[in-house]
Structure 1
Amino acid sequence: MDRPHLPLNALRAFEASARHLSFTRAGLELCVSQAAVSHQVKRLEERLGTILFRRLPRGLALTDEGAALVPVLAESFDRIGHTLERYADGRFHDVLTVGVVGTFATGWLIPRLPDFRVRHPFIDLRILTNNNRVDLAGEGLDYAIRFGDGTWQGAEADRLVIAPLTPLCAPALAGRLKSPADLAGETLLRSYRADEWPGWFRAAAAPCPPLRGPIFDSSVTMAAAAMAGAGVGLLPAAMFRAERDEGRLIQPFATEWETGAYWLTRLKTRIESTAMCTFREWLLSA
């Protein structure tokens, strides 16, 4: 079936007029006269057989029919614009959307993004951070980088980095910690995983004290609290190398507890695009 001819100029004139509620301001945006915009909108109304604007003494008001058309056109023009942007530099840019747990994003991925950009300039990487709770299908993600044991229903997983947990704290607080038993007198910052501190104390062969410290849904915010002297955080030291090198976080004990790793995951039903394969290979090699 032949597609009906779309009056694109008239549709664009209407969409701009609807945003500004003014033919004059729409004309300025489109670099045409007010009369030309008004004429295009009039042609569109005649074609549709309905009135889209009420002409007021000062400006315009959308009719119900006009208001129903606006969001459809706005979304369509936005999608066209975004697609055309992907042809910058005379080559099509692949878009890759990755959900990343915030700790891995700040502690590992972001410092390495310049290298990825230099190597693969035609992949537009879009990063959405989360607190390890992610829905690959519902959020429209190509990949998700998350922490755990690598078993997520319906997902393929490649292990990226092992990041055992260990206590980290501010320098002033570290001076009071001579042995794991000394932690009983400090505020122990917790994650929503209730087994972490008990697991670390078992690895340290020390009794776990009652846990009453504040609970965080992100290691990044827990680390910020630890640096502020709010308590001792049980954190993946490998993700806070810069803070440790700068002396803002101190690791008072050598004991580490391995509870999981960071994994690159995708839906088993998701066919890998060229951009996905490129990103996966870069991650695993890095």
Structure 2
Amino acid sequence: MTRPYLPLNALRAFEASARHLSFTRAADELNVTQAAVSHQVKLLEERLAVGLFKRLPRGLMITAEGEALLPVMRDAFDRMANMLERLEGGRVRDVLNVGAVGTFAVGWLLPRLPRFQSAHPLVEVRLSTHNNRVDMAIEGLDYAIRFGDGAWHGLEAQRLFDAPLSALCTPRLAESLLTPADLVRHTLLRSYRENEWTHWFAAAGVSRPPARANGVTFDSSLAMMEAAVQGARVALAPPRMFARQLSSGDVVQPFEIHAALGSYWITRLKSRTPTDAMDAFEAWLLDEIRLVYGSDA
């Protein structure tokens, strides 16, 4: 049986009208008249022999048949748009969606990312940041870089490097710190993860640490460090991620004491088949880490 020919304009008119539930707003989006949109939708309904909308005095109501068709049309148009976007100068451009913990993105990845882009000019990296809590499937991520122990359900995880935490503060505040126990007198900033300071004081051999850190709780080490720089407060953060601030002297690490509570990992869904762009990015990332840290990663 020969399938009916379905004009692209009619399908686009239906998809836009279904999103807006209005021929008028669909017409504005498509830069045509309201009558043209209505005509195209009617043409599609006649070809399919089903009603896609119920016409109401003030807008449209989509029918069950229209609701069944809409997600298929959205997916088809999205896929066409993505492919057209990837075509550049006769070559196919790959899009790579990467989510990263903000601290890692700013403190480590961004300064090095131009080297990947130079080596792989046809891979467009779309970088988003998160606070370690991310749903890769919902957000459409190829990779997510996060901090932890590597045990995430449904994910393949490749360890990148350790990121031990240490006390960081301004040089002025550090002048008053002779021993780790002196920190008890100061405001200690903390992340949403519990007991980080407890582990650090244990590593420092302080027998009576404060019951809990007494500052604001942060979901990002970036914000925590900014708070430490702006006031007489102490952050517990990974020095590896704040090399620039340490080099400039904006912050200092008063004690060579660390609390090892996790590592950075690059993760992907087990159900996600790696693309060439994904393989290239992961290989480049691991090479960069070996270049910087060698066997100490």
User: TM-score of the superposition, structure 1-length normalised?
Assistant: 0.81
- Residue 8 of structure 1: CA displacement? 1.3
Over aligned residues, Cα RMSD in angstroms? 3.3
SS in 2 for 1:271: coil
1:218 corresponding residue in structure 2: 220
Name the SS of the counterpart of 2:160 in structure 1: strand
How far 1:138 moved relative to its partner? 5.3
TM superposition shift of 1:2: 5.2
Q: How many aligned positions are there?
A: 281
Aligned-partner Cα distance in 2 for 1:149–1:165: 14
Distance 1:193 1:64 in 2: 47
Corresponding position: 1:234 with 2:245: no
- The equivalent residue for 1:109 is 109
Gaps in structure 1 of 5+ consecutive residues: none
Q: Is the 2:51–2:65 Cα contact (8 Å) retained in structure 1?
A: no
Deviations 1:50-73 (A, max 9, x none): 4858598xxx83354499469544
Q: Is the 8 A contact 2:163 2:238 kept in 1?
A: yes
Query: CA separation of 1:66/1:147 partners in 2, compared to 1, >3 Å: closer, same or farther?
Result: closer
Q: Return the alpha-carbon distance in structure 2 between the equivalents of residues 164 and 223 of structure 1.
A: 15
SS in 2 for 1:115: helix
- Residue equivalent to 1:198: 198
Q: How much has 1:271 moved relative to structure 2?
A: 3.0
Quote how far apart the aligned CAs of 1:221 are. Answer: 1.9
Please state how far the C-alpha of 1:254 moved relative to its aligned partner: 2.3
Matches within 5 A, 1:12-31: 12-15=12-15, 21-22=23-24, 26=28, 29=31
Matched with 2:293 is: none
The alpha carbon displacement at 1:104 in A equals: 0.7
With 39-48 and 6-15 compared, the bigger mean Cα shift is at 39-48
TM-score (norm 2): 0.78
1-structure distance, mates of 2:169, 2:5 = 67
The worse-fitting range, judged by mean Cα deviation, of 114-123 and 36-45 is 36-45
3-state SS in 1 of match to 2:104 = helix
Local SS of the residue matching 1:22: helix
**Residue 50 of structure 2 contacts residue 65 of structure 2 at CA under 8 Å; is this kept in 1?**
no
AA in 2 matched with 1:233: A
* 1:61 alignment partner, one of 59, 67, 88: 59
Q: CA deviation at 1:202?
A: 2.4
What secondary structure sits across from 2:189 in the alignment?
Answer: strand
| C-alpha displacement of 1:101 | 1.5
Q: Counterpart amino acid of 1:223?
A: M
CA distance in 2, matches of 1:44, 1:78: 20
Instruction: Give 1:177's aligned residue.
Output: 177
Structure 2 unpaired stretches of 5+? 289-297
Preserved CA contact (<8 Å) 1:52 1:62? yes
8 Å CA contact 1:53–1:66 kept in 2: the answer is no
Deviations 1:60-118, CA, capped at 9 Å, x for gaps? 83354499469544554344222321222322222322231221111111222222112
The answer (yes or no) to whether the contact 2:87–2:93 under 8 Å persists in 1 is yes
Which one is further off, 272-281 or 138-147?
A: 138-147
**% same residue:** 52
Deviations 1:243-273 (A, max 9, x none): 2223322222222233322122234454322
Q: Secondary structure at the match of 2:235?
A: strand
Matches within 5 A, 1:73-152: 73=73, 76-137=76-137, 139-152=139-152
Residue 198 and residue 249 in structure 1: after superposition, are their counterparts in 2 closer, same or farther (change >3 A)?
Answer: same
